[in-house]
Structure 1
Amino acid sequence: MKLFNWPNIRLVLMFSLVVFLFSFTSNRNSQRKVAKSTVIFVGNIDPFINQETVNKLLIENNQDPQSIGKDKLDLNKLEKSLNGHEMIEKSDVFVSIDGILKAVVKQKTPIARVFNNGHSFYIDYEGNTMPLSDNFTARVPLVSGEINKKNKEDLADLFRIIYDDAFLKKNIIGAQIMPNGSLLMFNRNFNYQIDFGRIMNLEHKFKNYKAFFQKAVLDSSLYKYKIIDLRFSQQVVCTK
């Protein structure tokens, strides 16, 4: 059997051509300049941070990314710069085949706004603090009182439940953290206050409240009450 017959030679030549074209194209592509940059917001699209701010964060070493070759871009460094911003939860930075620098940005999601000792900030969905935005104000429950290491995680759990529940999200507009650690909540359409008690048994207390509300709203008795007490596990106690 002849090793150097024409079919084998043609196969080797074709393979060599493919390797050459791939190497040439890859080298040429890596040397191309970034054509432009674009920002894509995903998840929560409320404009807490705008595209201009993200573009500024994409500047590397005080140099516009559009003046840098694709092979010179440090994408990990750009992602780290974006992820370090107080409004951004996560980002993904990459360069497309056509030379566009793309930043896919997921903003933090505020679930409560805290007023404490003259300062105001958000608690985000992950339970971390988030500064207020000059661009947008979130419609979330307003919270007064002291948040500390002891109650921060429990409060985040509570406001996550409110945020994820359509009824509670619409109904609960605020809460006051009492000196003993209990909660007093406020609703949107009625004058009563909700004595929630300690931040425990969250699901059960909210289940009791929703069941009570659905029953009481039918006979308009909600207008008569001043306090809805959820501290007891087996009943809802109402005070006129």
Structure 2
Amino acid sequence: MRKFNWTNIWINVRLVLMFSVVIFLFSFTSKRNSDRKLTKSAVVFLGDDNLFVTHETVNKLLIENNQKAQTIRKDKLDLNKLEKSIDNHHMIEKSQVFVSIDGVLKVVVKQKTPIARVFGENGSFYYDYQGNKMPLSDNFTARVPLVSGEINDKNSKDLNELLRFIFDDAFLKKNIIGIQILPNGSLKMMNRNFNYEIDFGKTINMEKKFNNYKAFFQKAVLDSSLYHYKKINLKFTQQVVCTK
């Protein structure tokens, strides 16, 4: 006759009961959590404090139909829809929307990064790091190079590469304050502290040209000769030609 091991049976029963209780508590907690209304909303901006869009603007985009956060249940929120609504704002590059355990609707915002301000026939606008147009902001004015001349499908890619190169280089970002696009595609640049203009030529070999300019500047600034030049020619990759 087979004997039952009542100890093992009791252990198994206890495990089943424990799992059942855990599942019940989880379901109950999830239900109560989803039925809760939001307590408030909070907006966090990544990067520096230069805000092109305000917290209030993002808060309005967060809640559908501009309702107060306290009137919306957590299970009624469409987070993907909210993110898309925020991402469609012309000053915002990317956002992430989520609800914290304590019922706070949070959004983390990455603003677009302007790398130039363009003056054209259709008015003035920023050119962002991704190569797209970005409108001016009433809240903050970016300190970026001023660009004049025609930007078109033919030169926009190379120009964006050049502007990004300037933006990512600490010396050039501080030194180059203006760029003029000539009808033949050549570029003229203005610097911050001296009266000379930079004849850059076309965008080809730009890294070499900029390296030549930085090496020349570091040497010439020591003897104050930069004050005597009217033009710095960077067209030739093997040398820097200066005109007084």
TM-score for both structures, normalised by structure 1 = 0.96
| Cα distance in 1 for residues equivalent to 2:204 and 2:106 | 44
Tell me if the contact between 2:52 and 2:137 (Cα under 8 Å) persists in the aligned partners. Answer: yes
Q: Name the amino acid aligned to 1:11.
A: L
SS at match of 2:101: coil
Q: Name the amino acid aligned to 1:38.
A: A
Counterpart of 1:197 (choices 201, 207, 222) is 201
**Displacement of 1:118:** 5.1
Counterpart of 1:168 (choices 158, 169, 172) is 172
| Cα distance in 1 for residues equivalent to 2:215 and 2:34 | 62
**Displacement of 1:94:** 0.5
SS at match of 1:238: strand
2:107 aligned partner: 103
- 1:3-32 CA-partner distances (Å, limit 9, x unpaired): 783222222211111111111001100110
| Cα distance in 1 for residues equivalent to 2:74 and 2:168 | 42
1:166–1:6: structure 2 CA closer, same or farther, 3 Å change rule?
same
Indicate whether 1:40 and 2:40 are aligned. no
Indicate whether 1:133 and 2:137 are aligned. yes
Q: Name the amino acid aligned to 2:56.
A: E
Give the gaps of 5 or more residues in structure 2.
none
TM-score for both structures, normalised by structure 2 = 0.95
**Displacement of 1:43:** 2.4
Percentage of matched positions with identical amino acids? 73
Q: CA RMSD in A?
A: 1.3
1:10 aligned partner: 14
- 1:168-208 CA-partner distances (Å, limit 9, x unpaired): 11111111111111110000110000000011111111001
Give the gaps of 5 or more residues in structure 1.
none
| Cα distance in 1 for residues equivalent to 2:92 and 2:139 | 14
Tell me if the contact between 1:57 and 1:81 (Cα under 8 Å) persists in the aligned partners. Answer: yes
| Cα distance in 1 for residues equivalent to 2:57 and 2:220 | 49
| Cα distance in 1 for residues equivalent to 2:119 and 2:106 | 37
2:234 aligned partner: 230
**Displacement of 1:2:** 4.0
Q: Name the amino acid aligned to 2:133.
A: T
